[in-house]
Amino acid sequence: MKNQIEKIKNTAQKEILATKTLKDIENLRIKYLGKKGELTAILKQIGKFSDNEKPIIGQLVNEVRDFINYSIEAGIKEIKDSILEQKLNKEKIDVTLPGIYRSIGHKHPLNIVLDDVKEIFIGMGFDIVEGPEIENDYYNFEALNMPKYHPARDTQDTFYISENILLRTQTSCVQIRTMEKTQPPIRMISPGRVYRSDTIDATHSPLFNQIEGLVVDNGVTFSDLKGTLETFIQALYGLDSVVRFRPHHFPYTEPSAEVDVQCFGCHGKGCRLCKNEGWIEILGCGMVHPTVLKNCGIDSEIYSGFAFGVGLERIAMRRYNIDDMRLFYENDVRFLNQF
Ligand code: DAH
């Protein structure tokens, strides 16, 4: 019996060494160690032996079983290692090949300018506020002191959705929404898209961007307005830029003004860039009309404020010397890659 067990051990060892695949080695495990395997068969006959022999044979079978088990595990590891090695030999990596570079997007010129504008106003303590692009007639016109049939409505060709709902023609409506919700002190700017049914050309588009500004507090005066806007313009265009305030009219401010900067092209002499005027208009502003304050529940005896509205495209065109605003919307990468 001892010889028979030794024989099993030796053939098992030979066969395990000769296997080349994981499947073959699994079959050997079944052949020797499985329920119907050769070692199990011997254990089943153990009853035939004398009490002296039983423990000796039992121990021998266990030793051989451990040995075969160990050899099979070692064989599996060897086969797996060699499969991996073959794979690695096949997959050569050429570290000298050039990498694949993906081109990364960047900011649109309008966003570059907008971020600069925000930064300047945040530095002066302003909040950034947003408002809806689909507005009620009330916020876009009525509360801004432009009742129905007011002539100033004609200057802003409006896309109406229904009688009272429209695409906002200006960001000034965010002034009203802000004052309705917040008691002074208020210091905010509100950038966003506005819509007018204009025919598209080099200086007009049915969609463009404005930045509204509003300050309301105790004792705010026209000189606060001048100081704030001059600081803004000099931060944007350089300390040497020359600014002028010109009287104007807006229904929601009194007094009102337009602000021009001296032309960068000709320094006031007159050139193609400024249409020979020497000055370029960049924003509208004024002291918030008492009626507008009243419409929002703010007591104009206690508080006063100023407001302004800037066209984003216009300041971006000035900054980059672009003479056709359509370039901003066409998404031509040859244009966009220059910023
Ligand atoms: N809403 C004006 C426009 O669309 C711009 C403007 C002018 C805004 C004067 C203001 C302001 O807040 O006070 O042309």
For the stretch 56-73, pLDDT in tens is 888 888 899 999 999 999
Q: Which atom of ligand 1 is nearest to the CA of 169?
A: 4
Share of the chain above pLDDT 70, in %: 100
211 C-alpha vs ligand 1 centroid, how far in Å?
A: 9
- Domain boundaries defined on the chain: 2-91, 109-336
Alpha-carbon distance of 189 to 171, in angstroms, equals: 10
What's the pLDDT tens digit per position in 245-304?
999 999 999 999 999 999 877 888 988 778 899 998 999 999 999 999 999 999 999 999
Residue among 153, 154, 170, 232 to mutate when testing ligand 1 (max atoms within 8 A of CB): 170
Q: Is 258 in the pocket of ligand 1 (CB under 6 A)?
A: no
200 C-alpha vs ligand 1 centroid, how far in Å?
A: 21
- Do 305 and 188 contact (CB within 8 A), yes or no? no
Give the pLDDT band of residue 175 (cuts 50, 70, 90): very high
Residue 287, φ and ψ in degrees, nearest 5 = -85, 130
Rounded alpha-carbon distances, angstroms, from residue 284 to 56, 202, 251, 257: 108, 21, 12, 6
Q: Angle 283-286-288 (CA atoms, 0-180°, nearest 5)?
A: 130
- Do 272 and 151 contact (CB within 8 A), yes or no? no
Alpha-carbon distance of 186 to 220, in angstroms, equals: 11
Average pLDDT in the chain:
92
Instruction: State CA 324 to chain mean position distance.
Output: 28
Pick the closest to residue 286 from 224, 210, 219, 232 (CA basis). 224
Domain 109-336 is found in CATH 3.40.50.300: no
**Predicted local distance difference test score (pLDDT) of residue 154:** 78
Q: Is 195 in the pocket of ligand 1 (CB under 6 A)?
A: no
Rounded alpha-carbon distances, angstroms, from residue 116 to 187, 200, 271, 290, 320: 18, 27, 27, 32, 14
- pLDDT (mean) for 93-103: 88
Alpha-carbon distance of 82 to 22, in angstroms, equals: 11
Q: Which atom of ligand 1 is nearest to the CA of 194?
A: 4
Q: Which atom of ligand 1 is nearest to the CA of 213?
A: 12
